[in-house]
Amino acid sequence: MKQYFGTDGIRGRVGEYPITAEFMLKLGWAVGRVLGNGDGQRVLIGKDTRISGYMFESALEAGLSAAGVDIRLLGPMPTPAIAYLTRTLHACAGIVISASHNPFADNGIKFFSATGTKLPDEVEIAIEAELEKPIQTVDSSVLGKAERVDDASGRYIEFCKSTIPQVLSLRGMKVVVDCANGATYHVAPSVFDELGADVVTIGTDPDGLNINRNCGSTEPSRLQEAVLRENAQIGVALDGDGDRVIMVDEKGELLDGDELLFIIARSRKKTNHLKGSVVGTLMSNLGLELALKGLDIPFVRAKVGDRYVMETLAQTGGVLGGESSGHIICLDRTTTGDGIISALQVLAPMLQEDKGLNALKAGMSKCPQHMINVPVSRRFDPDSSPEVQDAKRDAESRLAGKGRVLLRPSGTEPVVRVMVEGEDEELVREVAKDLADAVAEVFCPA
């Protein structure tokens, strides 16, 4: 069992252990010890726009230096950009200071290996083992040095543009881009602009405190309004660190990760570039599975979390997977979930088929699905409670074999996600509420 690492790195509230400057100092040292052994090794550090990023950047830098590892500072950059730059700059690891879609008072740390992929469990366990040891600083003659990478944004912008055919142009298309006042604020608008689009921006004025506030993929209402007001063809909403995307069509209707995954999968199928199974998660809408089945595209469900989607893609030989939240992985383009690149993979078939986004999504009908996040005071396994399991069985009985019920503790927030899916939307909502109330009664009694 890992003490600090969750499903996506280490995350929590700033100032509450382990999201403290003291812990980050030691974490930097531990990472340097595990991943940076050997002369000339370097680690990249990037961050989103949270005010606490300054503090944690300095602490990690000091810890890595004490371990004798050189540091390359990227400044505010999207999480997938750090994955790409870690690989192309031949670093031994990449560190991202971000809490993704969480509010500014939270922060966290994500890691990438030298190949631009998330760290395997055995490496995370090795880092935690080093955290139990006292810091031992290397000799002053071999302390790590820090430098800033000045052209990081330009490198990543060019990479994003290269993921769609060069002959495709967005000229004549109006695109509204919501950067969530996060790490993509100075990157995403440039990508779409340089591809020829008329770009309208939202959430590009970060102040350290407004990341994800009333904007971005978790709160897209402003984007929907802007798409209709500007008479735009498409809206793109990214989250605070840029690894998720949801989109808005020309009618102002939202498309979540399941619908975007369907559009990309169908496009790859048409051009004979789809390999293996498409991978979703336990939370993926049943409508996605049925729509892919209609196209003779195999579909597999993984546990929730992009690392599990990646593992399943590796097992099945697939290149495309994702989550309803908009975390989409195109392994034929990059090594991790990337909101900007995923959006471009949706734009490509729009241009190639000369169709609007509303028409492209027409091949998939979502089943009514309702999710409630139940706040809890501690992590727990729903299977450990007889009362919760009785409530779950009752919920499944009420759906009469025409739906799904899922209980899942979040790996990033102190909540339990209660998801119910079925044919009858009213029944789905009633069942979800009753099950959520049962969970709250057991684990958060008044």
In order, the DSSP letters of 62-100 are HHHHHTT-EEEEEEE--HHHHHHHHHHTT-SEEEEE--T
Residue whose tokens read 């996605």:
288
- Residue 394's contacts (CB-CB under 8 Å, 6 or more residues apart) are 434
**Residue 436: phi, psi to the nearest 5?**
-60, -40
- Alpha helices (runs of H) in 271-412, residue ranges in sequence order: 286-294, 306-316, 339-353, 357-360, 386-399
Catalytic residue among 100, 113, 267, 325: 100
C-beta contacts of 308-314 below 8 A and 24+ residues apart: 308/7, 308/281, 309/279, 309/280, 309/281, 310/117, 310/118, 310/336, 312/277, 312/279, 313/276, 313/279
Q: Is the Cβ–Cβ distance between 70 and 120 less than 8 Å?
A: no
Q: Is the Cβ–Cβ distance between 97 and 68 less than 8 Å?
A: no
- 371 exposure class (CB count in 10 Å sphere: 0-12, 13-18, 19+): middle
Determine the Cα–Cα distance for residues 11 and 55; give it in Å rounded to an integer: 15
Nearest-CA neighbor of 109 among 21, 185, 211?
A: 21
User: Residue 93 has which token pair?
Assistant: 């690891």
Active site residue 277: no
- Alpha helices (runs of H) in 36-175, residue ranges in sequence order: 53-66, 79-88, 121-131, 152-161
Active site residues: 100
